[in-house]
């Protein structure tokens, strides 16, 4: 990765962290973000909102065409989310088009094992604003004091691994 590409990645991570923080999320950047640390599993960002946990791998996409995430990176993100009881996303910043949050479970794998996010997946993924609205609305109490269900409405409801039934 070139210096300017790494800089864009750091800037995108910082921007996403600040945007989520400004909307009431608690946000932490991974200590090894962008450093190719191999021994432990760290996502780029971890965000919490009223007991829900979201883990993000942040990507900056300057040009068209599919975006690929290395198999090991995707596996580590999935493992961290599983251990934390959270939801895993690939957060993609596209200049002049904003953020798209692709649920890890909706991305397809190539025969070589890499995660592939094509234009169609990006277009159908929630924007950052849609994601925030969905999470915040899910945390609002209904009449009688109950909360709304936790997962984003655009995701299939599997109920597995969340530990929050």
Task: State pTM to two decimals.
Answer: 0.79
**CA 126/CA 122 separation, integer angstroms:** 8
- Summarised one tens digit per residue, pLDDT across range 99-147 is 999 999 988 999 999 999 998 889 999 999 999 999 999 888 766 656 5
Say if residues 125 and 100 touch (Cβ distance below 8 Å). yes
Asked if residue 113 is part of any domain, the answer here is yes
Q: What is the CATH number of the domain that holds 47?
A: 3.40.1350.10
Local structure of 137: helix, strand or coil: helix
Where in the sequence numbering do the catalytic residues fall?
33
- Summarised one tens digit per residue, pLDDT across range 27-49 is 999 876 555 555 567 899 999 99
Asked if residue 152 is part of any domain, the answer here is no
The pLDDT score that the predictor gives to residue 7 is: 76
Asked if residue 74 is part of any domain, the answer here is yes
Average pLDDT over the chain, rounded to whole? 83
Asked if residue 165 is part of any domain, the answer here is no
Asked if residue 111 is part of any domain, the answer here is yes
Which residue range is the domain that position 12 belongs to?
3-139
The pLDDT score that the predictor gives to residue 34 is: 53
Asked if residue 151 is part of any domain, the answer here is no
**CA 22/CA 1 separation, integer angstroms:** 30
Domain count, the chain: 1
The pLDDT score that the predictor gives to residue 131 is: 98
Asked if residue 99 is part of any domain, the answer here is yes
Asked if residue 88 is part of any domain, the answer here is yes
Mean pLDDT value across residues 45-65: 92
């Amino acid at each position: 990765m070139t210096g300017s590409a790494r800089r864009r990645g750091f800037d995108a991570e910082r921007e996403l962290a600040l945007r989520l923080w400004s909307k009431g999320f608690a946000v932490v950047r991974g200590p090894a973000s962008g450093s190719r640390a191999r021994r432990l599993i760290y996502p780029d960002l971890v965000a919490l909102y009223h007991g829900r946990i979201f883990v993000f791998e942040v990507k900056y996409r300057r040009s068209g065409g599919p975006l690929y995430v290395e198999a090991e990176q995707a596996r580590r993100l999935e493992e961290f989310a599983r251990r934390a009881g959270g939801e895993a996303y690939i957060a993609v910043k596209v200049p002049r088009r904003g953020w798209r949050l692709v649920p890890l479970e909706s991305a397809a794998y190539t025969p070589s094992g890499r995660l592939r996010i094509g234009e169609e997946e990006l277009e159908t993924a929630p924007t950052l604003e849609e994601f925030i609205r969905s999470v915040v609305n899910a945390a609002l109490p209904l009449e009688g004091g109950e909360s709304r269900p936790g997962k984003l409405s655009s995701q299939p409801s599997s109920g597995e691994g969340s530990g929050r039934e």
